Amino acid sequence: MAKNTYKQDQPTPVSRGNEPRPPRATSARPAPAETTAPRENRRASEAKAAPKVPRPSFKLPTFELGGMFAFVRDRRFQLFLGFFFLLGSLYLTIAFLSFLFTGHADQSVVAGLDRTPVKEAGQESGNWLGLVGAMVAQVFIYKGFGVAAFALIPIVFFLGYKIVFRRAGVSVSYVLALCVFIMGWLSVLLGYVVHSMQAPDADPALSHRLDFLSGGIGYEAALWLDSLIGWGTVLLLAFLLISFVVFFFNVTTLNLPRFGTEQEESNEAAPVPHNQFSQPSPRGNYATPATLEEEEKDFGMTVRSLRPTPAAAPPVTAQAFEDDDDSDDTDVPVVMSGSVASPAASVAPVAGAGLLAGAGAAVAGAALPLTVAPAAAAISAAGAAATVAAAGATAASKGPSFSIESAMDPEPVAVLPTRVPTPLSLADLADADAPLPASTSQQPSATNQQPTLQITKPNELDPAAGADMAVIADEDEDADAMPAVNYDPTLDLSRYQYPTLELLNDYGQAKAQVTKEELEANKDRIVETLGHYGINIASIKATIGPTVTLYEIVPDAGVRISKIKSLEDDIALSLAALGIRIIAPIPGKGTIGIEVPNTKKEMVSIRSVFSTEKFAHTEMDLPIAFGRTITNEVFVVDLAKMPHLLMAGATGQGKSVGLNVILASLLYKRHPAQLKFVLVDPKKVELSIFNKIERHFLAKLPDTEEAIITDTKKVVNTLNSLCMEMDRRYDLLKDAGCRNLKEYNRKFIERRLNPKKGHRYLPFIVLVIDELADLMMTAGKEVETPIARLAQLARAIGIHLIVATQRPSVNVITGIIKANFPCRISFKVTSKIDSRTILDAGGADQLVGQGDMLISQGSDIIRVQCAFIDTPEVDRLCDFVGEQQGYPDAYMLPEVVGESGGGNGDLEDMDPAQRDSMFEEAARVIVTHQQGSTSLLQRRLKLGYNRAGRLIDQLEHAGVVGPFEGSKAREVLIPDEYSLEQLLNTLPK
C-alpha cells in the first residue's frame, strides 16, 4: 500500500538519543527564535540540497491565476472598478440623452474629425459631454444599436453596483441577459421599421430623421433579414421574443382563461401564503399548489423560478467571483477558489498537484518531523493530513516509540491525496542535524529505548474537506428530484440568493503552531511523569489539533488504566499547562489519550469550515458545521437528527460565537421557505443582529413588533404558541397519513395534499434560547413545561430547540430538561460539578476556552474547536440576506389566547375551561399566607408576572381577594382554608 510503503521507505528521522538530555526547565520550552535562526537557515539550505521531490508536470491554474490576478481580490481595486462602472453608467446616460437632442448636428462634427482640429470640433459639438460624449453616443447609438443602446446603461450600472455594494438584491446576470436581448431585438425591430419607412413612397426627410432609432447594426441586420426572408422578419422577431420570454421567465404552462364553472373553480384556488397565518404572498398565485386533479384540469400558467436549475448551472469559481463580482448571482452554490477554467478542469489538476506536492511535503517531513504546519489553510484547506511520519525521531533513547500523526488517518502513514502543497516549509521540517538515512525503522533499537517519535501532520488530508471547494448551499434535494409540475416552496422568493463565502473573513493559510520542541518536551514529560509512578509506556503517538495535541499512549502490558486516570492532576502539573484531559481508554482503541493544549492555538475560521466539501455537499436537513475536531476533521452534525441541543459554558468561553456559528451554518444552507428561527435573547444584544432577516427567516407571534424576543414575559407565550404549532402540525401530519415532516412536505410538494384543507408547506422551526437561566429564574415551570414538551414531541414535526445557558446548575438544567436533550455541548465551565451537570461527565472544566468545546451525543464525547465567526461577518451575512426580497412579514406563529386559557370575567359565568389551571392552587396560597400579592404567587408557584397577575384578577372576581390597592397587597377576603374550600366547591367545575 502506498501509505505503508512510504512509511517504510522514509528516512529515519533525527535521533538525538545519544545527546545528553538538556535540563528539564529548558527542554520544556522551544528555544527562542534568535537562537534557532541559524539552525533554521541551515535547515533551509539543506532542504534545498535534499533530493527533489518530483514536481507535478502540469501547472495549477489556480495558483498561477491567484498570483497574476491577485490584485483582483484587492478590495481597493474592486472599489475602483465598481465606481468606474457606476460613474460610467451616469456618463452614458448623459451622453445618450444629449444625443437625442444634439446627435443630428454632432454627426457632421464627428464625421469631420479627420479634417477639423480637435479643439475646434469640440467647440462645435453640441453634446453635453463634449466631443468625447458625442463620439461615444455616436458609436453606441448611431453606429451601434440606436435607442436600444440605452439598455447598456443598466448593465454598466448594475455591474458597478454589484461590485461596490456586494448586494444580492440585483442579479447582474439577470440584468445582463435581459438588457442584451432588449438591445439586440429592439434595434433589429426598429431597423426593420426604419427600413420599411424608406420605401420609395415614404417621406425621405422623416426616414432620415429616424435613422438613429435602430443604429447601424440594427439597420444592417434588418436589411439582411429583409432581403433573406422579407416579411418573415416580423414573424422571426415575434418568435424570438416568445422564445426569450419562455426561457428567461421559465414559462411552463399558459394561464389562458377558461370558461364556465371550471374557470371559476380554478380562480378560487387560494394563494398559499408564506404560512397559513400570514398574509398571502404577492405572488401567491404562482405558489398555489393544487391537488393533482385540479392541476390536471387546470391549464394555468406557472412562472417558475428564474434561476437555472442546479444541475444546469455551472459551478462558479471564487476567482471568477473576483473577476466578475457576480458569482453570487448564480444559484448554484458551488464556489471554487482557484480556477477560471471549467469546473472539471479545475478540480483534477488541483487534486493531482496537491497529491504530488503533498507527497513532497511528507517526504521532507519524514526526515524532519517535528515542526508541523497546522491544518486548515484555506486552500490546502480541508485537506488532508500531510502525514509526516517520523519514526525514530526520538531523542533520548529509552522507551517506547513516539509518533505524531493525523488522527484523520489512525495509521501514521503518508498517503497524500493532498490537493495543494501544504503550508509546511522544507526548512521547517528539515532537521539539519540529521543526515538523511536510507531507511526508517519504527521499532526502537537496542540502544534507543526511548519512545520513538512518529509525527503525522493532521488535517491536510482531511478527506472530508474539499480543498478550495466552496459550495454555498445545496438546492433542496426534494426539489431536485421533482418533476416540473411539482410545487416549489421556494417560488415566492425564487430569486433568493444563498450567502456566498466572500462574506466571511479569509484568514489565509494557518501557520504552524506546534513546534517539534514543544512536542518532544511534552512527550518527555509525559513519559517521565508516568515513569515516576512506575507506569512504563510502549509507544506514544501525537496528533496535532487546532487547540490541543492528543498524545496516545500504549502502556506496557499489565498497567491499569485507572492508575493513569488518577494521575491526571500530576501530569497536568508536570506539563504546566491547563486543560489536560485524559481519556482512558480512548473509545474503540486500546490506547490512553492525553490531550495537551497547544501553546499557540490555531483559530478555526468559519470560512475554512464552510468551504469544505463535507459541509458544502452535505445532504443533511439542518447541517451545522461546528468546527474541527482534534483530528482536524470538519465536524458537521444534523440538527434535525440531534434533535435538540443544550449548550452551556461559563461567560466568555465562546457560547455566543457558537450560537452564531449554528445560525450561520443554517443560513448558508437553507432557503427562507425551508427554515424559520424563533430567537429568544434575554441579554437583548446577543441576537439582535439577526433582526435584519426578520422577513426571511424569523418567526414571531402575531401583533408583536420585534421578532426577537428579549422580554422574558413574552417567552412563555411564544413557547405556548410553539406548542400549539406543534399540535397543529401533528394534526396535519395525521390527516396526511405521514409520520414526519419530511414525508409530509414531500407529499405536499408532489401536490398530494390539498391546501384548501389547511395543508401547507411546513418549514423547519429552530427555537434558540440564549440564556435559559434567566428564564428559569423568572418564569420557572411556565417555561420548563413547554420546553420539555417541545423537546419530547417536536422532533417529528420539525421543531428543534437550541438552549444555551451560562449556568449549568441543576435548577436551570433540570432533570426533565436534561432528559429531553440527549445532545449537549459544553464550552469551558468553572467546575467539575457543572461539567457533570451538562455532560454527565467531567472534562468541560479542563477545556481551554475560546471555543474549545465538548460535544456529547449519547455516550460519545468529542472535543471540537468551535469555528470562529466575528460579529462583522454575521453582520454582513444578515445584510446579505436581509437586503434581498423577503416575505411581507415574519412567519406568524399561532396566536395564544391567555397563557393557559386564563381570562377575566365573572368566575360564576366563566367557562371553567377558561379558568387558569392553577386557580385553586393560587387561591390556597393566598389564603394560607393571608397575603394577596402577585409576587407571592410568582415565588410560590414559579409563575411569570403575567400569569400571576391574571390569577390575582380571577381571584378577585371569585371574591378571594379584594380590589387593587396601589402598592399595598390586596386584602384577602377569605379568612381560612375551610371557607376557601367551600367557595371553591360552589364554582362550576
Ligand X SMILES: Nc1ncnc2c1ncn2[C@@H]1O[C@H](COP(=O)(O)OP(=O)(O)OP(=O)(O)O)[C@@H](O)[C@H]1O
> Measured between alpha carbons, how far is residue 38 from residues 32, 35, 49, 653, 921 in Å?
12, 7, 16, 40, 81
**Backbone angles phi and psi of 674, in degrees to 5:** -100, -10
Strand partners, 700: 892
Taking the least distance from each CB to ligand X, the nearer of 631 and 938 is 631
Smallest separation (angstroms) from ligand X to the CB of 215: 58
User: If we measure between CA atoms, which residue out of 99, 173, 106, 175 comes closest to residue 140?
Assistant: 99
Minimum CB separation from ligand X for residue 926, in Å? Answer: 38
Tell me if 126 is assigned to a ligand binding site: no
| Spacing of C-alpha 448 from chain mean position | 50
Q: Which residue is nearest to ligand X (CB)?
A: 851
On the CB side of 212, how many CA atoms lie within 13 Å of its CA? 21
Ligand-binding site membership of 905 (annotated): no
Q: Take residue 610 and report the three cell numbers written for it.
A: 464552510
Residue 328 or 771 with smaller CB distance to ligand X: 771
Between 75 and 683, whose beta carbon lies closer to ligand X? 683
58: buried, middle or exposed (CB in 10 Å: 19+, 13-18, 0-12)? Answer: exposed
> How many residues would you count in the chain?
989
Contact assessment for residue 489 and residue 744, using Cβ atoms and an 8 Å cutoff: no
| Biggest alpha carbon–alpha carbon distance for the chain | 117
Q: Would you say 722 or 844 has its CB closer to ligand X?
A: 844
Show the cell assigned to 434.
540529521
Contacts of 574 (CB under 8 A, 6+ apart): 525, 528, 529
655 known member of a binding site: yes
Compute the radius of gyration of the chain from its Cα atoms. Answer: 35
Q: Quick check: 424 and 361 in contact, CB under 8 A?
A: yes
Q: 848 or 926: whose CB is closer to ligand X?
A: 848
Q: Is 651 annotated as a binding residue?
A: yes
Instruction: Count other Cβ atoms within 10 Å, centred on residue 524.
Output: 23
Torsion 424-553-857-688 (CA) sign: negative
Asked whether residue 898 is marked as a ligand-binding residue, the answer is no
Residue 126 has phi, psi (to 5 degrees) of: -95, -10
Nearer to ligand X, 771 or 782 (CB): 771
* Residue among 512 and 661 whose Cβ is closer to ligand X: 661
Question: 54: which 3 cell numbers?
Answer: 518530483
Q: State the nearest-atom distance from the C-beta of 148 to ligand X, in Å.
A: 54
H helix runs in 324-405, sequence order: 343-367
For residues 369 and 406, the answer to whether their CB atoms sit within 8 Å is no
Determine the Cα–Cα distance for residues 706 and 693; give it in Å rounded to an integer: 12
Minimum distance from residue 803 beta carbon to ligand X (Å): 14
> Which residue number, 510 or 923, has a Cβ lying nearer to ligand X?
510
Nearer to ligand X, 616 or 869 (CB): 869
Rounded Cα distance between 42 and 280, Å, is 73
- Cβ–Cβ < 8 Å for 40, 458: no
Least spacing, CB of residue 551 vs ligand X, in Å: 23
Integer Cα distance of 53 and 356 in angstroms = 8
Closest contact distance (angstroms) between CB of 632 and ligand X is 15
The least CB distance from residue 642 to ligand X, in Å, is 20
Using the minimum distance from each CB to ligand X, give the nearer residue, 103 or 546: 546
The residues of the shown chain that bind ligand X, judged by CB under 6 A, are 603, 649, 651-657, 806, 850-851, 866-868
**DSSP per residue over 240-291, as a string?**
HHHHHHHHHTTEEE------THHHHHHHH-----SSTTSPPPTTHHHH----
Task: Tell me the helix, strand and coil percentages in the chain, rounded to 5.
Answer: 45, 10, 40
Closest separation in Å from C-beta 848 to ligand X: 10
Could you tell me the three cell numbers for 134?
Answer: 458625442
**DSSP label at 138?**
I
Q: Which is nearer to ligand X, 667 or 952 (CB)?
A: 667
What residue has cell string 380554478? 266
354 is in an annotated binding site: no
Asked if 571 contacts 595 with a C-beta cutoff of 8 angstroms, the reply is: no
Nearer to ligand X, 164 or 648 (CB): 648
At its nearest, how many Å lie between ligand X and the CB of residue 627? 7
Contacts of 910 (CB under 8 A, 6+ apart): 903, 954, 957
Amino acid sitting at position 817: I
In the complex, minimum distance from the CB of residue 651 to ligand X, in angstroms, rounded to a whole number: 3
What's the min distance (Å) between Cβ of 799 and ligand X? 24
Q: Is 218 annotated as a binding residue?
A: no
For residues 453-490, one letter each, b for 16 or more C-beta atoms within 10 angstroms of the residue's C-beta and e for the rest, the string is bbbbbbbbbbebbbbbbbbbbbbbebbeeeeeebbbbb
Nearer residue to ligand X within complex by CB, 718 or 806: 806
Whether residue 358 is annotated as binding a ligand: the answer is no
Whose Cβ is closer to ligand X: residue 62's or residue 806's?
806
CB of 712 vs ligand X, minimal distance in Å? 17
Q: Identify the residue whose cell numbers are 447594426.
A: 217
CB of 606 or CB of 943, closer to ligand X: 606
Minimum separation from the CB atom of position 828 to ligand X (A): 9
Taking the complex as a whole, the smallest distance from the CB of residue 977 to ligand X amounts, in Å, to 45
> Nearest distance from residue 606's CB to ligand X, in Å?
9
- Name 827's Cβ contacts closer than 8 Å, sequence gap at least 6: 647, 648, 649, 650, 653, 654, 655, 658, 844, 847, 849, 851, 852, 853, 866
Q: Which of 791, 788, 807, 808 is nearest to 799 (CA)?
A: 791
Is 250 buried (19+), middle (13-18) or exposed (0-12) by CB count in 10 A? middle
Which residues contribute to the annotated binding site?
649-656
Which residues contribute to the annotated binding site for ATP?
649-656
